[in-house]
Amino acid sequence: MLVEINTTSERETKKVAALLAEEIMKEKLRRRHALIIALIGELGAGKTTFVKGFARGLHIAGRILSPTFTLLKVHPLEAKYYSFLYHVDCYRITARDVKRALGWEKLLKDRRSIVVVEWADRIKKLLPKRRIDVFFSCSNKTSRTLKMVFHE
């Protein structure tokens, strides 16, 4: 399934992400692995803004920063079906390094986890087939087109 949404501000981008998170939180676990949300877009396209809104939709308090240098940030969740949000930034890392340094297989095995990956196109071969891809494109400084592809 493909959903395309245009936003005209950071606030709208965050709202779209929060709504997606809220819907995911209602979903019963039918997967065998973690829920992967792959964020793909150029620098400044709104990936981190999206994660901030998504985290708010999961009721995560506190500041959300992109883990560009730490590679991975873990946020515990107090939810019925999910235990953790893993925020991964692959801007400075290769697929082989993700596999080795982050324990990628272990992350994928935990079906009670949500893994949001910025720069997911850099580790495409490691992504499971069943995932959500979010493609970001910019028309100007504030307008974004988000194309969400739900791979079942």
State whether residue 24 is helix, strand or coil.
helix
Confidence category of residue 68, pLDDT binned at 50, 70, 90: confident
- In sequence order, the β-bridge partners of residue 134 are 39, 148
Give the integer Cα–Cα distance in Å for 68 and 26: 30
Q: Look up residue 75 and give its two tokens.
A: 């946020």
What is the share, in percent, of the chain residues with pLDDT greater than 90? 63
- In sequence order, the β-bridge partners of residue 112 are none
pTM, two decimal places: 0.92
* Segment of 20-24, 67-71, 100-104 carrying the highest mean pLDDT: 20-24
Mean predicted lDDT score pLDDT of the chain: 90
Give the integer Cα–Cα distance in Å for 98 and 100: 5
Architecture of domain 2-141 in this structure:
3-Layer(aba) Sandwich (3.40)
Kindly tell me if the per-residue pLDDT of 117 is higher than 90.
yes
Phi, psi of 52 (to 5 degrees): -60, -45
- In sequence order, the β-bridge partners of residue 120 are none
Q: Look up residue 51 and give its two tokens.
A: 């994660």
Between residues 66 and 129, the one the model is more confident about: 129
Note the pLDDT tens digit of each residue in 28-55: 767 788 999 999 999 989 999 999 999 9
Confidence category of residue 97, pLDDT binned at 50, 70, 90: confident
Kindly tell me if the per-residue pLDDT of 134 is higher than 70.
yes
* 80-103 average pLDDT score: 85
State whether residue 84 is helix, strand or coil.
strand
